[in-house]
Structure 1
């Protein structure tokens, strides 16, 4: 009898311990659920430094019931987008862990898979408004519990970007920051500001565009808008339907992988303000003077270091280039070429930088460069990695037309200037480039008269 009474007393305690240790999982649905259609249901999954890999469910109505939520700490919401197959996003756990590594904060994954998982995209769009109303009520409760609206950061992906904007608008733009990762275009393009994300939805809005010609939004939506590789086709993504589902989602999802890279600080992607991607590639936008000593803004999590100047400048459209995979950041050089051929030459340049046991390559081929005698041609070279100590340089000239007669490019001077490092530029004089033949040389510091 005593044993039974003991077990009866112990059982509720054991249940509570099990509940405390239970890890809540993101809702896992499948294509069948999406075909049938799902009704909106929102679950808030909390991660902190005490449970960085094991989320707990937060009540929509009583924050005091959740001791791990600390209203005095910053809070970041992660809001996913359309889920046509119902599967959980592959990047959620990594994003949560990286955010917690950066700051002691509350990270809340907004699980609205019930509502986003639907083959009917229009129904998912409709649910963004309803989900925003639910999340607004939760933010209001946070505010009543002492949380500062200015310390709230919302990271919205695709439809989640506009959902974040709706919450921000409901809170009169007082939320600290909204990061929009390739905001959805269909059903939002051409909409007025109140029906989509816009800069007034938060104190600071930063936006990344990676698929503006298909699933993403083309026009600027924030205080700063980043357009990697022009904002459309991303390097390394499939170009044909033969690749299956990756053809449709690779460019769109690249926004998340780029943001994850910025959190890891593997390297930094400097973004340059420019009117168009064409002008950027042509080397017409390499000046960062308007940003002062800090230089042009760095894409990603740390762009808030430029917040004050960006708010002063107004909406700023920026471009940068990436590699095909992580680490995505490239290294930019200004390249100035002067030739002494009698006749004009048109062609492409490939440059290799050789360091100690490593090599970086940049091919300038977005259009045929025009080279004129005694006239400096300025180019932008984007190398796949940063060689801090350049020992040798290789050059190759090509016309891109194998049917034309072989040409030579007689280089009077080539000057390479790193766009970020303060070291002086590297030069070489009197080089003869035969078409499609690589020439390697040791660069020297440029003479003062040539600066």
Structure 2
């Protein structure tokens, strides 16, 4: 029954979002059903072009809506028998919460359809952690209303400050799982910091996503007030702060940055999509919110497809691990939810947001893992998988997660692959097989094993299928991940297995003749070998390199 109630809860949220989306479209007066406007995929464009794309899109939408309104008025005047939907214009709402300010639901903040709830209802708490109190049990609550709470804490104004902000449907800090608590402990293992965890779980409670998406405006005002309080009381500087937010927490961080120009860095972990896709940048996370904004996308798409994350580039550098959606080990949201009802060993909440929460899992894994999540600039994820983007000159590549500022010059959309379970980081190997001109056509499977001085990657399938056609005078490129870090390339073993599919049993095939084999790792090691023959259903071991 509990799992069924979760599914019902999810459906309520989805249907409500769809209903609100329709209501937002009904502006003053009569409304007629309009043809939707579709646009090209913007992900591979640089951010400047994204801005132009969004401006053009707004102009197109406004033009279409204006035209539809004119047509509706003309039709209404010509006959009273036509079907129209009549609505009464809703007066704007306005709420004021003392020195936090006033909040209206007028554009552009009409994206959620409501104004935020009161600070008393949201009940935001701020907890300080340092190396002197690095566990949840040792948390120290501070308040900008009570300076003595700060003086009694271990907050050190000389150290940097990380501010962690959770999103919708979060547990309170004392009830695991609580990702911000996990991140805090990993950060303090690595660096001597102040970590402030923002707990606003009452304002982010399910099933009212509409209220939670509105409440981030109040939470952002409270966080901004806290940061000003800390600078005034302790003498620390704004440039010491780094905000990290997941889902709605990412947009919350963006709103803080709007209030505090000059904030050095914001990290967005899969910013929430519902009510923020295609909206004015002022209501969501965007590059103007801090001097440097890095974003990790793991569940991009529309909510009706089962995705919770924002697909649109939202930072100075946007990371798309595994294409930014459908993370390894995570099934389709809806199919997984149904499967969890039939399998008591599966947690429904895990299946509902598996890819969405992968963003904070990847970020936490990056803090103390010596393996770095290197991402590559590319036009698309498909191009990346095809091995067309392996260039890191001029600081083009970026390190995803905690150490992204090791290369602050990285910009644009960047791609990488990860594992399906921790440690998520892996070492990448680019392998190029160039077949000889005149080689007889082959069909089958090639596996490769790369060995260093002390260990090897293990067998890796070069093609996705075991009946791949292999043509003469053709270059085949693949990017492969391994948990093994090789110090050098000592030996490469290639195995060719002819297809056994009955669909191709009528044909005859020969050996695989390679003009050249090139191997390169993302750490810079590489090797090449020329004139390599792999016999049908045989194995060839290369031990001589750089003979081309």
Task: Give the TM-score taking structure 2 as reference length.
Answer: 0.68
For the residue of structure 1 that corresponds to 2:405, the secondary structure is: helix
Name 1:443's counterpart in structure 2.
543
Q: Which string of whole-angstrom CA distances, capped at 9 and with x for unpartnered residues, describes residues 65-108 of structure 1? A: 42322233211111001116776543333211111122222101
> Which of 350, 354, 363 is 2:447 aligned to?
350
> Which of 78, 89, 92 is 2:164 aligned to?
78
Name 2:476's counterpart in structure 1.
377
Shift of 1:346: 6.6
> Which of 372, 375, 387 is 1:268 aligned to?
372
> Which of 134, 145, 155 is 1:52 aligned to?
134
> Which of 253, 260, 264 is 1:164 aligned to?
253
Q: Which string of whole-angstrom CA distances, capped at 9 and with x for unpartnered residues, describes residues 203-244 of structure 1? A: 111110111131111011111111111111111223432144
Name 1:337's counterpart in structure 2.
433
**Is the alpha carbon distance of 1:286 and 1:136 closer, same or farther for their aligned partners in structure 2, counting shifts above 3 Å?**
same
Q: Which string of whole-angstrom CA distances, capped at 9 and with x for unpartnered residues, describes residues 375-415 of structure 1? A: 43333333343233445433345788822236445132442
> Which of 39, 47, 60 is 2:121 aligned to?
39
Shift of 1:254: 1.1
Name 1:69's counterpart in structure 2.
155
Shift of 1:362: 3.5
Greater CA drift, 352-361 or 175-184: 352-361
For the residue of structure 1 that corresponds to 2:202, the secondary structure is: helix
Greater CA drift, 155-164 or 356-365: 356-365
The answer on whether the counterparts of 2:171 and 2:201 sit within 8 Å (CA) in structure 1 is no
**Partner Cα separation in structure 1 for residue 275 and residue 222 of structure 2:** 21
Shift of 1:124: 0.9
Which 5+ residue runs of structure 2 have no aligned equivalent?
Answer: 13-116, 302-306, 341-347
Shift of 1:126: 0.9
Shift of 1:422: 4.0
> Which of 286, 289, 312 is 1:219 aligned to?
312
**Partner Cα separation in structure 1 for residue 350 and residue 280 of structure 2:** 31
**Is the alpha carbon distance of 1:408 and 1:150 closer, same or farther for their aligned partners in structure 2, counting shifts above 3 Å?**
farther
**Partner Cα separation in structure 1 for residue 285 and residue 247 of structure 2:** 11
Name 2:417's counterpart in structure 1.
321
Name 1:229's counterpart in structure 2.
322
Name 2:220's counterpart in structure 1.
132
Shift of 1:441: 1.4
For the residue of structure 1 that corresponds to 2:428, the secondary structure is: strand
Shift of 1:361: 4.5
**Is the alpha carbon distance of 1:318 and 1:398 closer, same or farther for their aligned partners in structure 2, counting shifts above 3 Å?**
farther
Name 1:387's counterpart in structure 2.
486
Name 2:331's counterpart in structure 1.
238
Task: Give the TM-score taking structure 1 as reference length.
Answer: 0.81
> Which of 191, 200, 219 is 2:279 aligned to?
191
**Is the alpha carbon distance of 1:303 and 1:438 closer, same or farther for their aligned partners in structure 2, counting shifts above 3 Å?**
farther
1:205 aligns with 2:329: no
Q: Which string of whole-angstrom CA distances, capped at 9 and with x for unpartnered residues, describes residues 271-306 of structure 1? A: 100110000011111111231xxx622211111011
**Partner Cα separation in structure 1 for residue 495 and residue 295 of structure 2:** 37
1:296 aligns with 2:397: yes
For the residue of structure 2 that corresponds to 1:393, the secondary structure is: strand
**Partner Cα separation in structure 1 for residue 464 and residue 272 of structure 2:** 28
Name 1:23's counterpart in structure 2.
none
Query: Paired residues, what number?
Result: 406
The answer on whether the counterparts of 1:426 and 1:443 sit within 8 Å (CA) in structure 2 is no
**Partner Cα separation in structure 1 for residue 272 and residue 257 of structure 2:** 17
**Is the alpha carbon distance of 1:419 and 1:393 closer, same or farther for their aligned partners in structure 2, counting shifts above 3 Å?**
closer
**Partner Cα separation in structure 2 for residue 122 and residue 424 of structure 1:** 53
Which 5+ residue runs of structure 1 have no aligned equivalent?
Answer: 1-29
**Is the alpha carbon distance of 1:412 and 1:258 closer, same or farther for their aligned partners in structure 2, counting shifts above 3 Å?**
same
Q: Which string of whole-angstrom CA distances, capped at 9 and with x for unpartnered residues, describes residues 347-381 of structure 1? A: 66432224535543443446897754234333333
Shift of 1:144: 1.9
The answer on whether the counterparts of 1:235 and 1:324 sit within 8 Å (CA) in structure 2 is yes
Shift of 1:322: 0.8
**Is the alpha carbon distance of 1:419 and 1:60 closer, same or farther for their aligned partners in structure 2, counting shifts above 3 Å?**
same
The answer on whether the counterparts of 2:171 and 2:178 sit within 8 Å (CA) in structure 1 is no
**Partner Cα separation in structure 2 for residue 400 and residue 248 of structure 1:** 39
Q: Which string of whole-angstrom CA distances, capped at 9 and with x for unpartnered residues, describes residues 298-339 of structure 1? A: 2111110111x23xxxx4110011112122122222222122
